[in-house]
């Protein structure tokens, strides 16, 4: 087993760096943005200083400690060794251009620029996930205030915000919504081909219960960035966006089949029939690897 070159220690913030080769320890000091201002030794003496503009372009660097957590290092931005790029989980930023190098993987949820970094306001905002939907703030006081607000706000109110937001993708009838790190299962109106709402959440409570259980099952598959406000993030592994969808849809179908149909209004019965048909067709087309698949379908 190889010996690590460096160890990073993190509590609520990134605390320290242990250089195993040189047997030295350095401690981080950050600004409001989370960018490393300096490193100190165990006595509190400054050994390294770093200064950059709001986008991360280096302005000044002193000291010789090996460290990659410079620009917004407290939130996990990782500076490349040989290029002016910062790795930010889902993609890389290009500080000298003030933008991302690749499109936002969650771009279908937003009509904003897919390459814009931090909504072009890096003094106030950061994007630790690399999946920017909604506003992400780096100011510690703002974050603590928003975290407290999110924990106190019921999911029903958060879902109402999501339904009204023009930046939240509302396809599929429901989804997991993140709000400053809090996860909520939300349902959206089912619309006709022209976008007019046919059935709103709350119209058919027994069907809503099955749909919400489906969205609740997705919660463990999704990460909520605590520095970001209202957003609908993708599943954790973008290469397997529907890895558990068969299991979840089968469970929703079983839930629908337990509903006493005579208890439903004519509107809810029609909705039940449509959902049952769609779920059955999707499961039959996508979940049995032994059957030939029509074009556009993928086996999960």
Q: For tokens 């809090």, what's the residue?
A: 182
pLDDT-based confidence at residue 46 (cuts at 50, 70, 90): very high
The neighbour count for residue 166, using CB atoms within 10 Å, is 7
- Judge whether residue 1 has pLDDT over 70: no
The pLDDT tens digits of the residues spanning 254-298 come to 999 999 999 999 989 988 998 899 888 888 877 876 655 544 444
% of the chain at pLDDT higher than 90: 39
Residues 83-107 have a mean pLDDT of: 87
The neighbour count for residue 270, using CB atoms within 10 Å, is 14
pLDDT-based confidence at residue 193 (cuts at 50, 70, 90): very low
Contact 27, 37 (CB under 8 A): no
Model pLDDT, residue 104: 80
Q: For tokens 């620029």, what's the residue?
A: 113
Q: For tokens 């087309």, what's the residue?
A: 285
Kindly report which listed range (64-68, 157-161, 239-243, 276-280) carries the lowest average pLDDT score: 239-243
- Judge whether residue 210 has pLDDT over 50: yes
For the chain, the domains span 6-79, 141-286
Could you tell me which residue, 300 or 82, shows the higher pLDDT? 82
% of the chain at pLDDT higher than 70: 82
Contact 123, 154 (CB under 8 A): no
Model pLDDT, residue 137: 62
Q: Which two tokens stand for residue 266?
A: 């004519």
- Judge whether residue 209 has pLDDT over 70: yes
The pLDDT tens digits of the residues spanning 109-144 come to 445 678 888 878 787 778 887 875 445 666 667 778
Kindly report which listed range (162-166, 175-179, 276-280, 288-292) carries the lowest average pLDDT score: 288-292
**Stated pTM of the model:** 0.58
Could you tell me which residue, 31 or 133, shows the higher pLDDT? 31
> Of all helices (H) and strands (E), which one includes residue 294?
none
Could you tell me which residue, 112 or 249, shows the higher pLDDT? 249
Q: What is the mean pLDDT of the chain?
A: 82
Query: In sequence order, what are the residues at sequence separation of 6 or more whose Cβ sits closer than 8 angstroms to the Cβ of residue 141?
Result: none
pLDDT-based confidence at residue 237 (cuts at 50, 70, 90): low
DSSP one-letter string for 115-183: SBSGGG-TTTB--TTS---S-BB--HHHHHHHHHHHHHS-HHHHHHHHHH-TTS--GGGEEEEEETTEE
Beta-bridge partner residues of 175? 186
Residues 184-202 have a mean pLDDT of: 74
């Amino acid at each position: 087993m190889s010996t690590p070159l460096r160890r990073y220690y993190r509590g609520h913030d990134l605390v320290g760096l242990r250089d195993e080769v040189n047997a030295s320890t350095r401690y981080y000091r950050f600004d409001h943005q989370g960018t490393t201002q300096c490193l100190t030794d165990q006595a509190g003496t400054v050994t390294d200083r770093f200064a950059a503009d709001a986008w991360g372009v280096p302005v000044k660097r002193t000291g010789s400690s090996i460290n990659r957590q410079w620009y917004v290092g407290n939130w996990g931005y990782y500076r490349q060794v040989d290029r002016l790029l910062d790795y930010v989980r889902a993609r890389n930023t290009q500080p000298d251009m003030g933008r991302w190098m690749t499109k936002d993987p969650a771009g279908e949820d937003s009509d904003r620029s897919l390459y814009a970094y931090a909504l072009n306001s890096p003094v106030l905002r950061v994007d630790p996930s690399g999946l920017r939907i909604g506003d992400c703030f780096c100011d510690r006081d703002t974050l603590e205030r928003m975290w407290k607000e999110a924990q106190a706000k019921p999911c029903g109110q958060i879902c109402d915000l999501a339904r009204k937001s023009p930046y939240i993708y509302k396809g599929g009838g429901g989804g997991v919504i993140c709000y400053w790190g809090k996860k909520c299962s939300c349902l959206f109106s089912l619309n006709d081909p022209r976008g007019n709402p046919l059935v709103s959440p709350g119209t058919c409570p027994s069907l809503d219960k099955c749909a919400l259980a489906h969205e609740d099952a997705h919660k463990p598959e999704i990460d909520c960035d605590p520095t970001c406000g209202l957003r609908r993030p993708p599943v954790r592994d973008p290469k397997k966006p529907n890895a558990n969808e068969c299991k979840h849809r089968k469970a929703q179908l079983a839930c629908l089949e337990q509903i006493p149909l005579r208890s439903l209004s004519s509107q809810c019965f029609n909705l039940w029939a449509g959902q049952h048909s769609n779920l059955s067709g999707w499961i039959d087309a996508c979940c049995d690897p032994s059957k030939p698949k029509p074009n556009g379908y993928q086996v999960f």
